[in-house]
């Protein structure tokens, strides 16, 4: 089996995890999670230089921060299947006393989670701080972050974007999930941001655009290019064009599944569309 085939199979399993987790508690955010499945798979299974186990300081390895924390199902699935904690723990998602809360938290000590990201707009600032810490520690590894496009409507992001370029934080790669949708509609309807690319370029970031954000090969090519730009004086922004709900036909092309769980019948239809011949579900 080729690397692309293995990554594709991994992504399919992640989608099945997302659907089962959200359905089991009738709560959660499947839309953005499904749309970012390929990105997380590439990040953790192909791109990042990671150490075995988990060390909160992350010295001597690449680290990642999820800013749009409501897409925790995809994050939890990929972390579990990348060896950070037992896959069977995914069945505790959003339940009382679980380490897998609806938005990631740190107080329960879940391996892989370096910040609580319930409130939107904060992750980029934290990632910048971590990137500067790596520079102080003379650690040449990279810091990755993921933000939502609707999340950019939070003003703190733009302070962080201005700061990162002004201070030459060039060991940071911040990806923006450009699916064009948020809880109340399209991003253009809620608060049109114009050209996100032009804005980042105006703030003196290097910008890489991945037009096919649900294509594993395109993500590998784009993120590899972004990685090649690191260390050259500017922070790097990746604009990842994804489809909310990708992989489940009735969840795509609408914002309706931003934070809505499938019922029994819908779950079965969605799982059929993401079939694995040798299922390895938890």
Domain count of the fold of the chain: 1
Q: What pLDDT is stored for residue 242 in this prediction?
A: 98
Average pLDDT over the chain, rounded to whole?
A: 96
Is 161 part of a structural domain of the chain?
yes
> Would you say residue 280 lies in a domain?
no
* Position 281 in a domain: no
Q: What are phi and psi of 5, to 5 degrees?
A: -65, -40
Q: Say how many residues make up the chain.
A: 282
Average pLDDT over residues 76-96: 97
CB within 8 A of 184, min separation 6: which ones?
A: 190, 255
Q: Is 87 inside a domain boundary?
A: yes
Q: Which positions ≥6 away from 194 have C-beta within 8 Å?
A: none
Res 1: pLDDT:
62
Burial 253-271 (b: 16+ CB within 10 A, else e): eebebbbbbbeeebbeebb
User: Domain of 248: which CATH number?
Assistant: 3.40.50.970
Q: Which helix (H) or strand (E) holds 146?
A: strand 143-148
Rounded Cα–Cα distance for residues 95 and 165 (Å): 41
Task: Inform me whether the pLDDT recorded for 269 exceeds 70.
Answer: yes
Q: What is the pLDDT of residue 278?
A: 64
Residue 273 confidence (pLDDT) above 90: yes
pLDDT of residue 47: 98
Q: Is 89 a domain residue? A: yes
Confidence of residue 196 (pLDDT cuts 50, 70, 90): very high
Dihedral Cα 172, 14, 225, 132, nearest 10 deg = 10
Residue 37 located in a structural domain: yes
Where in the sequence is the domain holding 255, given as residue range(s)? 3-273
Enumerate residues 6+ apart whose C-beta is below 8 A from 57.
none
Q: Give the residue-averaged pLDDT of 54-59.
A: 95
Q: Average of pLDDT values for 201-219?
A: 98
What is the pTM (predicted TM-score) of this model? 0.96
Tokens 């679980």: give the residue. Answer: 98
Residue 26, Cβ density class (10 Å: 0-12 exposed, 13-18 middle, ≥19 buried): exposed
Chain centroid offset of residue 100 CA:
16
Q: Is 279 domain-assigned?
A: no
Among 166, 177, 251, 258, residue whose Cα is nearest residue 214: 177
Find the Cα–Cα–Cα–Cα dihedral 159, 164, 166, 170, rounded to 10°: -170
Residue 183 lies in a domain: yes
pLDDT at 120: 95
Residue 276 has pLDDT above 90, yes or no: no
The Cα 274–Cα 270 span in angstroms is 7
Q: What is the pLDDT of residue 118?
A: 83
Distance between CA 61 and CA 23 in Å, rounded? 35
Question: Contact, 263 vs 199, CB < 8 A?
Answer: no
Q: pLDDT tens digit string along 118-167?
A: 899 999 999 999 999 999 999 999 999 999 999 999 999 999 999 999 99
What is the Cα 39 distance to its own chain's centre? Answer: 7
Quick one: pLDDT at residue 2? 76
Residue 65 — φ and ψ, nearest 5°?
-125, 125
């Amino acid at each position: 089996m080729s690397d692309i085939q293995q990554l594709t199979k991994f992504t399919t399993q992640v989608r099945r995890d997302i659907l089962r987790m959200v359905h089991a508690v009738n709560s959660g955010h499947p839309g953005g999670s499904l749309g970012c499945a390929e990105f997380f798979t590439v990040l953790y299974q192909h791109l990042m230089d990671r150490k075995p186990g988990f060390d909160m300081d992350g010295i001597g390895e690449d680290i990642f921060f999820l800013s749009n924390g409501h897409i925790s199902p995809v994050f939890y699935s990929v972390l579990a299947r990348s060896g950070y904690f037992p896959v069977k723990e995914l069945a505790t998602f959003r339940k009382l006393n679980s380490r897998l809360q609806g938005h990631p938290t740190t107080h329960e000590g879940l391996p892989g989670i370096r910040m609580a990201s319930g409130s939107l707009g904060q992750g980029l600032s934290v990632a910048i701080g971590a990137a500067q810490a790596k520079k102080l520690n003379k650690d040449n590894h990279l810091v990755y972050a993921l933000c939502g496009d609707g999340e950019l409507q939070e003003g703190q992001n733009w302070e962080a974007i201005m700061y990162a370029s002004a201070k030459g934080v060039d060991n940071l790669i911040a990806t923006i999930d450009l699916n064009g949708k948020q809880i109340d509609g399209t991003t253009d309807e809620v608060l049109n941001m114009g050209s996100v690319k032009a804005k980042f370029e105006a703030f003196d970031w290097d910008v890489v655009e991945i037009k096919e954000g649900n294509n594993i090969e395109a993500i590998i090519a784009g993120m590899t290019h972004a990685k090649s730009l690191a260390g050259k004086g500017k922070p790097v922004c990746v604009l990842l064009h994804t489809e909310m709900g990708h992989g489940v036909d009735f969840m795509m092309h609408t914002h309706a599944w931003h934070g809505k769980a499938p019922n029994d019948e819908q779950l079965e239809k969605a799982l059929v569309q993401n079939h694995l011949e040798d299922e390895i579900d938890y």
